[in-house]
Every structure is written in C-alpha cells, then in structure tokens.
Structure 1
Amino acid sequence: MHEGTISARLARFITASVRASGTPMWRFERFPDLGPEVLNDDLARISTPSALALWEQLTLTEPGPAIGALITEGTPLGTFGLWDYLISTGDNLAESLKVAIGHLACIGDVAAEKLQVIEDGRTFTVRHATGSWVPDVVEAIDLFALAMLSTRASAATQRPVIPLEVTLTHRPPRTYQRLAAFFGTRNIVFDAPHNSITFADNDVRARLPKATPGLQQILTEHAVLTLSASKPVLRWHDRFRATLDAALREDAASLDRVAQRLAMSPRTLQRRLAEHGTSWREELEQTRHQQAMELLRRTDLPLHSIATRVGYSDARALRRAVQRWEGRSPNLVRRDPVTVGGPAEA
C-alpha cells in the first residue's frame, strides 16, 4: 500500500529545500498532497509524482542535479524521522544500515527506490537505483540517496566517515569540486555501472555511540506499526492524475509509460479509468489544458515552448487547443487571465 508514495517527513524536507532556493511555490498550490495540513501529518504518505515535481523544481536551481547531495549537508539525525534512528541505534553502522535499508518504506518509495548492500570483508558498499524519470531529476535523487548514506554514517558514528569511493551512472559535469568537498573525496567515478558509495569495513564495524541493547528492535517494531497506520493521501484517480501530470512534464505521457509507472498494464489502466467514468484521451486533454493555462498565466515562455511542454507539435496546434478550451486566443488569455472562461463543455 506504500508503493508510489514517500513519507511526509521526506516530502517536508524537499518542500523546505525548494522554498529555501527562493523558488515561487505557486506551481504546487494545486497539488492536493502538498498542503501544510498533509505535510505536517507524519502518518500521511505523499505521492511520488508530487515529490518528483518538487525535485524537478530543485534541479532548476544552481547547482543543478548536485543540489540533491548538497541539501543534506548539516542535517542532524532525526531530520528524516524514524529512518534516521534505525541507522544510529544498532550495534554498528553496517548492521544498522542493513536494518534501515530493509525498512526503506519508512522514508521512500519502495516501488521506485532500490538499495543493495555488498560486502567483501574489506569494504562495505551500498548501491542505489531509482525510477525512470527526467535525467536531471534521476541524477539529483541518486546523489541525494548517496549523500543521505554519507551524512547519516558520520552522524551515527559521531565522527567523519569518508567514503573510499563514490560511483555514479551519470555523465561527469564540467566541474565536481562541490561534490568532492561534500563527500570528502575526489574518488568520484562517473559513467559507472552503478550508483554506489563504499566505506572501509573498519568504519562500519565500530560500535556506535548510541547503541543501546534492544532499542533497535523496539524501533523496528514501531516502524512496522507506523507503516500499517499510515496511508496515501491521494485516491487512485488522484494518483493517476498526478502521475500523468508528471509524465507530461517529462515528455513521457504515453499510455504505456503511465501504465508502467502505475505498475499495471495499459488495458487495466483503461479499464480503471472507465470505472471512474473517464478515458485516457479525456484525462490527457484535461491535463494538457491545466498545464497550458498555468504556463500561459504564470510564465513568459513563448507559445512554441509551451506547445512542446504540453505535448503539441507546434504553436498552431496549441492555439487551436486554447481556442477550443477557453473560447479565446492564447494572447487574450495572457492579456486578461482573470476573464471568466474555462473549458468548453464536452
């Protein structure tokens, strides 16, 4: 039941990071699961598409995808709730990380995020992979995951834990000094087969300062109870719309791609939509309408750019669509955005 969602704690942190970047928050006003009453409820589960919209906005700020790592700098234990304490209360870092990874649902989307531990007696490596989204967003999330492991390792041991190596599947940036300073090593390998962070075995086997016999078991049981009591804020149809909204922004709004993100076949998705009295075509049209109006009223983007963003071949196709929806041209929408219009009746 937690697939396709993240914890309110994590969503709260990403939202705060977007605000701190100075980004206007108007884009997120219509997201039903990003309001303060939802984000402040630790039992709420926020849809992954809503979280991805936040991540996309973050990557538009300087320094791009690297922001995924840099926003974790200086975050104390407890920032991410129960998941942080699972990492810091076991006998040693290695065993605590395994327990926390086994309870990834406490913080992230287990349908999209994969963590794997590899040990060889000398080193301790954690690999990470995420879903198929916009490349910059994927890179930011990958860096965030590795940075989380790095910062939590140092916080749990109460001393600097410098990774032996960080590997990324992404292409090297023009400069990565800030990432090298963040991780404490220049041994960052790009175009690698996996995203991973590797620690020396001695660093992860030392007894943790906060290790308390039996405490981690209590926290693990609490994690199970918390997850059973939590629930997604969005109903299925709302989650579908959030997924479609995100896919359209990423130029991936095909029936097959959206069905894949919802972990169902295209035929099943069409059947579910029919049960809700709608269809794929109607939903795609409505989402294009919402996004186009948002971009026309809130930005100065040229018509051809807006057309591309909402899935039309050119500005002429967008003009025809706006005329159909609003009964007036895109220029009039921009000139007088408060005039009562609205989509034509079906």
Structure 2
Amino acid sequence: MVSHAHQGTTSSALTRLSVNAARLLGVPAHGYAHLLGLAPEHLNDDLCRTPTATSIRIAELSTAHVPWTELSVALARESGIGALGVWDYLITSAPTPLEGIRDAAAHFAAVADPGTDTLRITEDGEHVTISHVNQADLTHEAACAIRGYALGLYQRRLSEAARRRLAPVRVTLAAEAPRRHDALTELYGTRAIDFEAPDSSITFLASDLKAPTPQFQPGLSTVLLRHAEQTLATAIPLHGWLDLFRTTLASVHDDTTPTLSATARRMAVSARTLQRRLDEHGTTWNNEVETLRRAQITRLLHDTDLSIDAIAARSGYADARALRRAVQRWYGTTPAALRRTGHAAPAHSV
C-alpha cells in the first residue's frame, strides 16, 4: 500500500541503476558518493527507499558530463530483467504484455516516486499508448534523460514479455531534439520519434500487446502482485538523518545486540556526535533501541513459534522475565496473550 511516507523516495534498485550508469559514463564519484542512501548497507538493501533527491542529483551530474541521450541509453543497458526487482516480472509474467504493463502501472510506486512519477496506459482502437509523466524538479537535460530512459525500459520489458522485439508505431518525447538521435533510434527500434511533444509516450499495435505471453504460468502473476504489495508495505523510506540512523541500527541489530559505539562506527561518526544528533531529533539511544526491540518482539510473537526464552535471547533481554516485563509495559498484557490475539493494542510511550 502506498503511503505518504513513500513520496519523495524511489526504490534502491532504481538508485543502483543510476549509480551504475554514472560509473559507466565516467561521472566522478566524489560528486554523489556522500548522498543519503548511497552507503552500501542502504543501496544494496531492497527494503530501503532512497530519497528521490539522490537520484535526481546523480542524473544531473551525469547529464552535465555527457549528452542526455547517452544517459538514457546507459540506464536502459543496465536494466536487464530483474534489475528493478519484482516490478520487472509483473510485466513479463502476466497473461498478455498489455495486462503486464497495466499491473506495472498499478504498482509503479514499487520502483518510482509516487509523488512525481506516473505510468499511464491508453487504448485507442488499434493502438496502445504508454505515457510516462515525471513532475520532479529536475534540470532540463536530466528530465530529458529520465523520460527517454523510461520509454526505452517499457519497450524492452514488453519485448521480453512477448519473446520478440516489438517495434513501436511511434515515440513522442517531451524533450528538445538532440543533434544526433541514432542511439534513441536503436533504443526504441524506430525512427518515428517526435521531439518537443507535450508528453513522453511510446505507442504499440494493440494486437502485439494483446497476444498471449509465451512463458505465462497460471497463478504466478497473482503471487508476484502480492509480493510487490508486501515489498512496498515493508519498505523503509530514507527521508533524512533519523531514517538513516534507524536503518543502520536495524542492520547492527541483525548481527548482534546493538551498541552505541558499534552503530556510531557504522555511520562513521563518534558516539558523542551520534548522541547529540539523536537529541537534536527529539529522541535518545535508549528510546530507539527499545522501539526496535518492541517491533522485533511483536513480529516474532506473531510470525514464529519460538519460545519466550528464545525470543528474549534473540532480542537482547537477560531472560524471559525481563521480556515479560517489557511486553507488559508496552501493551499492558503478557507475551502469551499477545501471541494468542494476533494483534497488539496501542503501545504505551517508551
């Protein structure tokens, strides 16, 4: 389910594509390596949502380094099937390519910023037009590159679904005509490209998109749709420093009982600086650890059959008695009762 928290962020998979393309194009890394969400533990975590501003900055640096058409093509080349996670397979696993792109449009927030990006599909007799709308605050060149890439991505995925290269009837780009657009002709598989159009779109014969998908497996599309929804529902949007801290704390917690010094080292700051930043954000180390433990314990009680002793050990409590006291403080009940009911009452303040 898309929430307000997802706005202003994109999937880490899409950000990885931007980084990989920038490297291929020789864009100096010092211009973007420090940006929020590009630390390896966040960039390589598919549950993290990177700030849209990070991807925008990489695109702007890239188009300052090469023509926008080169960035469009580089991004498309890096977009092999699966590069964008389960969203890619929504297109290739539906009964027809048209149904696949409709599923992808309905779940576009799984990869793109739901606050700025929209994927629209329009049927008009013999033709189907797929339009990409991007309203992010990008420089002109970067915006052209993103629009050009998006259309190339849709052409590639639909062709993969059909198991043959689909030739579009026409392409329209809300971009100024470049000096040369040979690369775009090759990318889309057509010379019928109109520039300076009101919208960016790619149009196919309806018969091509309504033909059965050769590799269609009944039931698979439903499973993938459910997985896409779950991925978005559990995603962690990185909007600012506190989000960054909390994802770092969670990653440290996965390895061992989190400590202030270990978390500070992971964030490349001193323990004193970390405490000061938490204070500036109206929270404390103890509050954050307690909140993380509460979420983990609640999940383990609901989703596993682990004993109370095992959950206490996994969560960093000395024994089951300490865990019971914590659950009583949070929810006013016992771990056993919480497990039976299957849901938590409103938690008390930590």
TM-score of the pair, normalised by structure 1: 0.66
How far is the alpha carbon of 1:103 from its aligned partner? Answer: 0.2
- How far is the alpha carbon of 1:276 from its aligned partner? 6.6
SS at match of 1:26: helix
* Structure 1 residue 122 corresponds to structure 2 residue 139: no
Q: Following superposition of structure 1 onto structure 2, how do residues 74-85 of structure 1 map, counting pairs within 5 Å?
A: 75-85=79-89
1:126 to partner: Cα distance: 0.8
Equivalent position of 1:315 in the other structure: none
Correspondence for 2:6: 2
Any residues of structure 2 matched to 1:94-243 within 5 Å, and which?
Answer: 94-130=98-134, 131-235=136-240
Aligned to 2:296: none
Q: Note the C-alpha offset of 1:233.
A: 2.3
Question: How much has 1:29 moved relative to structure 2?
Answer: 3.2
CA distance in 2, matches of 1:116, 1:186: 23
Alignment-derived partner of residue 61 in structure 1: 65
Whether the 8 Å contact between 1:169 and 1:192 is mirrored in structure 2 is yes
**In 1, Cα distance between equivalents of 2:169 and 2:74:** 19
Distance in 2 of aligned mates of 1:153 and 1:168:
19
Distance 1:11 1:31 in 2: 11
Measured in 2, the distance between the counterparts of 1:200 and 1:164 equals 7
Q: Return the alpha-carbon distance in structure 2 between the equivalents of residues 6 and 45 of structure 1.
A: 5
Q: Unaligned 5+ residue runs, structure 1?
A: 240-274, 278-346
Does the 8 Å CA contact 2:8/2:239 hold for their aligned counterparts? no
| SS, match of residue 71 in structure 1 | helix
Q: CA RMSD in A?
A: 2.0
Structure 2 residue aligned with 1:93: 97
CA contact (8 A) 1:6 1:107 kept: yes
Match of 1:285 in 2: none
Q: How many angstroms does 1:13 deviate by?
A: 1.2
In structure 2, how many angstroms separate the alpha carbons of the residues matched to 1:50 and 1:42?
A: 16
AA paired with 2:103? V
Report deviation, 1:132. Answer: 3.3
Aligned pair count reads 242
Q: 2:166, 2:64 → 1: CA distance?
A: 30
Matched residue SS, 1:132: coil
Q: Distance in 2 between matches of 1:124 and 1:42?
A: 32
1:55–1:37: structure 2 CA closer, same or farther, 3 Å change rule? Answer: same
- Residue in 1 that maps onto 2:311: none
For residues 88 and 104 of structure 1, the distance between their equivalents in structure 2, rounded to whole angstroms, comes to 15
Does 2:20 match 1:40?
A: no
Letter in 2 for 1:228: A
Distance (Å, rounded) in 2 between the aligned partners of 1:190 and 1:106: 29
Q: 2: CA distance between counterparts of 1:74 and 1:65?
A: 14
Contact 1:69 1:146 in 2 (8 A): no
The alpha carbon displacement at 1:70 in A equals: 4.1
Secondary structure of 1:32's partner? Answer: coil
Taking every aligned residue pair, what percent have the same amino acid on both sides?
34
- Partners of 2:18 and 2:217 lie apart in 1 by 31
**In the superposition, relative to structure 1, how do residues 225 and 22 fare at CA in structure 2: closer, same or farther (>3 Å)?**
same
C-alpha contact (below 8 Å) 2:31/2:61 kept by paired residues: no
Work out the CA distance in 2 between the residues paired with 1:151 and 1:88. Answer: 10
User: Which residue among 3, 28, 32 is the counterpart of 1:28?
Assistant: 32
2: distance between equivalents of 1:237 and 1:218?
Answer: 34
Shift in CA distance, 238/40, structure 1 to aligned 2, threshold 3 Å: closer
Describe the superposition over 1:4-33 as per-residue Cα deviations: whole angstroms up to 9, x where unpaired: 100011111111111111222112232231
Q: Matches of 1:200 and 1:236 in 2, distance apart?
A: 47
Give the match's secondary structure for 1:60: helix
For 1:89, the aligned partner's letter is: S
Amino acid at match of 2:214: P
Per-residue displacement from partner, 1:180-229 (whole Å, max 9, x unpaired)? Answer: 12211110001212110001111101111221111111111111111111
- Sort the Cα spacing of 1:238 and 1:30 in 2 relative to 1 into closer, same or farther, 3 A: farther
Structure 1 counterpart of 2:219, which letter? G
Residues 41 and 238 of structure 1: is their aligned pair in 2 closer, same or farther, counting only changes over 3 Å? closer
